[in-house]
Amino acid sequence: MAAAGLPTLETLDNADVPGVKTDRRARRDISQTTKPVGAELARDSGVTAPLNADCTGLIASKLAPTGIGDYHGDHYQPVVTRPRMTFDFDQVFDRHNTGSTKWSRYPADVLPMWVADMDFAAPPMIIQALQKRLEHPMVGYSVAPDDLRDAIVADLWNKYAWRVEPQELIFLPGVESGFNMALKALVQPPQNVVVQVPNYPPLRHAPGHWGLNKVELNFDAQADGTYTTPLTTLSQSLQGGGALLLSNPHNPLGKAFPREELQAIADICLEQGAWIISDEIHAELCFDGRKHVPMATLSADIARRTITLMSASKAYNIAGLKTSFMIIQDRALREKVNHARCGMVDSVNPLGLEATRVAYSEAGPWLAELSAYLQSNRDYLVDAVRTRLPGVTMNVPQSTYLAWLDCSALGLDNPQQFFLEQAKVGLSPGLDFGDDAGQFVRLNFGCPRALLEEGIARMERSLRNRKA
Boundary residue ending a domain (315, 347, 362): 362
Tell me the pLDDT tens digit for each residue of 337-361. 999 998 889 899 999 999 999 999 9
Same domain for 263 and 171? yes
Same domain for 352 and 370? no
Query: Is the bond preceding residue 207 a cis peptide, omega within 30 degrees?
Result: no
CA 457/CA 437 separation, integer angstroms? 24
Mean pLDDT computed over 268-279: 98
Q: Which residues contact 463 (CB under 8 A, 6 or more apart)?
A: 389, 390, 391, 392, 410
Nearest to 205 by CA among 410, 430, 434: 434
Query: What domain range includes position 96?
Result: 9-112+366-467
CA 247/CA 41 separation, integer angstroms? 37
Say what the pLDDT of residue 463 is: 98
Q: Please say if the pLDDT value at position 53 is more than 80.
A: no
CA 293/CA 316 separation, integer angstroms? 19
Same domain for 294 and 401? no
CA 93/CA 109 separation, integer angstroms? 16
Q: Please say if the pLDDT value at position 277 is more than 70.
A: yes
Mean pLDDT computed over 105-120: 97
Q: In 177-230, at which residue ranges do the beta strands (DSSP E only) sit?
A: 192-197, 213-218, 220-221, 227-228
Say what the pLDDT of residue 47 is: 37
**Residue at 124 is within a domain:** no
Say what the pLDDT of residue 129 is: 98
Q: Which is more confident, 97 or 31?
A: 97
Mean pLDDT computed over 367-393: 98
Q: Sorting pLDDT into bands at 50, 70 and 90, what band is 293?
A: very high
Q: Sorting pLDDT into bands at 50, 70 and 90, what band is 55?
A: confident
Q: Find residue 247's DSSP bridge partners.
A: 279
Same domain for 417 and 344? no
**Residue at 340 is within a domain:** yes
Same domain for 350 and 221? yes
Q: Please say if the pLDDT value at position 135 is more than 50.
A: yes
Q: Which residues contact 222 (CB under 8 A, 6 or more apart)?
A: 228
